[in-house]
Structure formats: structure tokens, C-alpha cells
Chain A
């Protein structure tokens, strides 16, 4: 089954404790991206990757890191989480570039206390 998976689905953590949210797709998509969803603000792009070893900042990259060592995986790293990073996070992927249908993962609900 073609899909995008994220883990964990839910996470409660404390300020400053490093965490990683994994994202994996099995559709051989070149383009992958991370978004955060906050009420009234819609989906805001954190980082994106056009292909392996090619990543770039979206609109809200502060406090986040990513890597793209393999085509299928695009982990999101929070080195020192803070309460303002409490949010719902979505990973998405597509063929080529963002001008194609985005396939979203199920989302990760992160709470930082």
C-alpha cells in the first residue's frame, strides 16, 4: 500500500529534551516536506527536500533540523524543544516538486511542557 508514515503519532516531552519525528514514504517520491499546523495559522512549511542530500528552509525553520540521507526517509529533529513548538506536525511527499499532489502522513501531535 502506497503511504506516508510518521512516528510517533503522539508525544509529550519536556523543554530541552532532544527528539526526532520520523517520516517515511514508499512511493519513490523525490520531494518531501514538513509542516506544522496551528489553529488560525493553517499549514506552515518548516523544511523541504527536493531529493537526497538536498534540503532547504521553509517559512518557519527556527528550532528544527532535517536530513535526507535516503530517498524514503525525512526525519524532523528538535534539538532543544520549547513550548512554542507544541503543534500538530505533518510530513508530506510528492513526485518531483511541490507542484504535484502532496501525500500527507497521519500527523504527529507534539506537546512540549
Chain B
């Protein structure tokens, strides 16, 4: 079945450094790739998403890149701050007329930003 692999499982960076989290998906028909942030004890919340018709999307300090050929996508956080410390999840699904109703999440990355 469909699968999303996420790496690394934990990531520790110094404040101000960049962080990169990578995901690989198996369903070549996937065309929607969101990233969720989950702070300790809280619910996941969408921080950025990308659709397969674009290769990169930016929103202030965060960006997502997509390589459809290799079936992988990455989250980039620049100038990290302590409040970026959280668990980050990638996910993949089919949207629109080809959607199956499934949303497959990666295993999560615990990001720690040290002051």
C-alpha cells in the first residue's frame, strides 16, 4: 500500500541554523503534500503545503520543495528559533478527482532548537 518515509526522526540544531526534513512517498499518483507542526501536548496544525504542479513554495522562514521524479519532498526552515521546536509531520494524498480519501503521514521528526 501507500507509504511515506520521513527522515530524520530527531534533529537538533542551534538557534539561527537551518533545518531540513525529508520525505519520500510511494504512490506516484499523490499530488498533495502538506506539512504539519505539532507542539508538545497540542494538536497538529498545517504550516505549509505544496501541490504537484509546482516545485517549490515559500512562506517566510519555511519552504517546501518537491521532486516528483524522485518522489520526495522536503521541508526547509531557515533562521530557526526556539519556538520552532516541535514534531513535524509530512503527508501525501491524492486530491481532486483521483482522490482515494486516504492521507498518509510520515513517522514524524522531533526538531529541537537550542538557544
Contacts and interface: CB of A to CB of B under 8 A. Distances in A.
Interface of A: 31, 33, 35, 40-45, 48, 50, 56, 58-59, 90, 97-102, 104-107
Nearest to A99: B95
Given A99-B51, A100-B95, A102-B46, 9 more contacts: A42-B6, A42-B106, A44-B105, A48-B103, A50-B101, A97-B96, A97-B99, A101-B46, A102-B36
Given A33-B103, A48-B101, A101 B34 contact: yes
Contacts of B36: 102
A99 B94 contact: yes
Contact of A98 (B1, B6, B102): B102
Interface of B: 1, 6, 9, 31-32, 34, 36, 43-46, 49, 51, 89, 91, 93-96, 99, 101-108
B95 A97 contact: yes
B8 to A, nearest CB: 12
A63 to B, nearest CB: 18
B101 A59 contact: no
Contacts, number: 69
Contacts of B89: 42-43
A97 B31 CA distance: 13
Contacts of B102: 45, 48, 58-59, 98
A41 B54 CA distance: 29
A43 B99 CA distance: 19
A43 B105 contact: yes
A8 B108 CA distance: 25
A109 B48 CA distance: 27
B41 to A, nearest CB: 9
Contact of B93 (A42, A56, A99): A99
B114 to A, nearest CB: 22
B46 A98 contact: no
B13 to A, nearest CB: 21
Contact of B103 (A41, A45, A50, A107): A45
A19 B13 CA distance: 43
